[in-house]
Structure 1
Amino acid sequence: MEDEATRHRLRAGFDRAAEDYQRTRPVCPDRLFDDLIDRAALRPGDRVVEIGCGTGQATVPLARRGLAVTAVEPGAGLAAVARRRLAGFPAAEVVTRSFEDWRPKGAPADAVVAVNSLHWIDPALRYSKPHELLRPGGAMVVAECRWARPADADPFWTDVQEDYRAVGFEGDPPPPPERIGPWHLPPEARGLFEETASLRYPFQVRYSADDHLTNLATQSGTHALGEARRAEFLARVRHRLESLGDPRLTVTFVALLTVGRRA
């Protein structure tokens, strides 16, 4: 997903369904945010820049922990939802702009945080710009949620792969959670940051059949299919769920947290 035009097109898709995104996207577990504060050595009042906040799934937990968060989000619809959710946190603000184009004001940040967003940033700025924004010793924090499929998962999760294959969905089926290891800073970041923590957090979310379909519809891989194949894919999954009586589904994720200290 390194092609710039593709990256911009797919990340813009999230903004077209901001409320659906807010309702159905998984939120990292609370203990990840507690560890984030601890491993990044943050205290209430510290200045944090968040890259691509979406509707605030990470911004709200950070603001609740007393951090002064400036969240930079290019999607106007997503940013509007985030502002609404952050109305009770006067130290948090949402800036509607791409991270690449945003120019900060004030003192250097104590941390730069990217949750499920870093891969959308121009590779040339992905680590160099956070390094510029941070004070010496400040923290670069990367977190994400990855789908997993346990060995004892409901047969639906195996059977639905037929629908993915039928429309030419790119990528592999989710691996078992134990095969999703910690994520480490890549070589291009290591001259800028010293990695100090790399942790993982398996967790599960219960979805209604409708919410699972809504979640699928918001995903970049689904948007990448194009309108016709996207509609076919969602119709196939809907038919499969209806044939099962629209069951509630247990979805398994592994959240990953990586912290680096600015050199």
Structure 2
Amino acid sequence: MGCTEDDPRRHGLRGGFDRAAEDYQRTRPVCPPQLFDDLMDLAKLEAGDRVIEVGCGTGQATVPLAERGLAVTAVELGAELAAIARRRLTGFPAAEVVTCPFEDWQPQGPPFDAVVAVNSLHWIDPHLRYAKPYELLRSGGVMAVAGCQWARPADADRFWTDVQEDYRAVGFEGCPPPPPEQLGPRHLPLEAGSLFEEVASQRYPFQVRFSAEDYLANLATQSGTHALGEDRSTEFLARVRHRLETLGRPQLTATFVGYLTVGRRA
């Protein structure tokens, strides 16, 4: 549910994550370590290789990339998000965070070995999503697109079915999450075909355990919630909070499917 890739509200909504940066850092799911290991292997990256990360948020992917020895330049629109990412990267001198819209950022120095976008590429202007990474990369460099998709398995706790009533009550856009088996690998779109040759597309089912409070905080950071506007988002969060309180504020197991798509510069 929420903003589509070419939604004209994109520019307004993408700045909303900065309003609750600490909640974003604490509650956003992080792709499994295996995804980052596979990214290194499939992209043929080695320690010391230079990487651009598009929209790093608070560093959920930046830290795993830096831990694998990559020299990461992370470009982040939100000042509060970027500040947290810098704090988390203190022990990695080869990593830096630039506060700037990716569309406006102008690099210096030689071309890069890879461009990585995790849960962020859909926020970039469509005409630059693949064209600008192409321009930033050396010949044979790679673009890796990854992220986490919400899913709802058949044996999920009843809360995940019942809470859909709260989504419908406020006119939340979109559809309920599908079962994980319906979320297959994601491929590069036609618009990228003349620029990148797809070399791999993989999926990574995983689960995250939330406290009731952390789930509510996560929900408040989501773009679909922001898109409701102040009054409806307040009503929506109050409805979900009431539902959780009537259940005794349970721990919630959320299901996700991570995805990784790697393309090599043509």
Q: TM-score range by the shorter chain?
A: over 0.9
Cα deviation 1:42-95 (Å, max 9, x = unaligned): 000000000000000000000000000000001000000000000000000000
1:188 aligns with 2:203: no
Equivalent position of 2:56 in the other structure: 53
Given residue 17 of structure 1, which amino acid in structure 2 is its aligned partner? A
Equivalent position of 1:142 in the other structure: 145
Given residue 244 of structure 1, which amino acid in structure 2 is its aligned partner? L
Displacement over 4 Å in runs of 4+? none
Q: Displacement of 1:3 after TM fit?
A: 3.9
Which consecutive unaligned segments of at least 5 residues does structure 2 have?
A: none
Equivalent position of 2:247 in the other structure: 244
Task: Provide the C-alpha distance between the structure 1 equivalents of 2:44 and 2:134, rounded to a whole number of angstroms.
Answer: 17
Equivalent position of 2:168 in the other structure: 165
The 5 A counterparts of 1:69-84 are: 69-84=72-87
**Helix, strand or coil: the match of 1:140?**
strand
Cα deviation 1:120-159 (Å, max 9, x = unaligned): 0000000000000000110000001000000000000000
Given residue 216 of structure 2, which amino acid in structure 1 is its aligned partner? L
**Helix, strand or coil: the match of 1:181?**
coil
Task: Provide the C-alpha distance between the structure 1 equivalents of 2:16 and 2:229, rounded to a whole number of angstroms.
Answer: 11
Q: Displacement of 1:185 after TM fit?
A: 0.2
* Coordinate RMSD, CA, aligned: 0.5
Given residue 29 of structure 1, which amino acid in structure 2 is its aligned partner? P
The counterpart of 1:130, out of the listed 126, 133, 138, is: 133
**Helix, strand or coil: the match of 1:124?**
helix
Given residue 106 of structure 1, which amino acid in structure 2 is its aligned partner? G
1:178 aligns with 2:181: yes
Task: Provide the C-alpha distance between the structure 2 equivalents of 1:51 and 1:205, rounded to a whole number of angstroms.
Answer: 24
**Helix, strand or coil: the match of 2:253?**
strand
1:8 aligns with 2:14: no
Task: Provide the C-alpha distance between the structure 1 equivalents of 2:57 and 2:144, rounded to a whole number of angstroms.
Answer: 16
Q: Displacement of 1:253 after TM fit?
A: 0.2
TM, length-normalised to structure 1: 0.99
Given residue 49 of structure 1, which amino acid in structure 2 is its aligned partner? I
**Helix, strand or coil: the match of 1:158?**
helix
Q: Displacement of 1:8 after TM fit?
A: 1.3
Task: Provide the C-alpha distance between the structure 1 equivalents of 2:74 and 2:135, rounded to a whole number of angstroms.
Answer: 17
The 5 A counterparts of 1:106-125 are: 106-125=109-128
Task: Provide the C-alpha distance between the structure 2 equivalents of 1:106 and 1:55, rounded to a whole number of angstroms.
Answer: 25
Which consecutive unaligned segments of at least 5 residues does structure 1 have?
A: none
Task: Provide the C-alpha distance between the structure 1 equivalents of 2:239 and 2:112, rounded to a whole number of angstroms.
Answer: 47
The counterpart of 1:85, out of the listed 88, 93, 110, is: 88
Identical-residue share of aligned pairs (%): 78
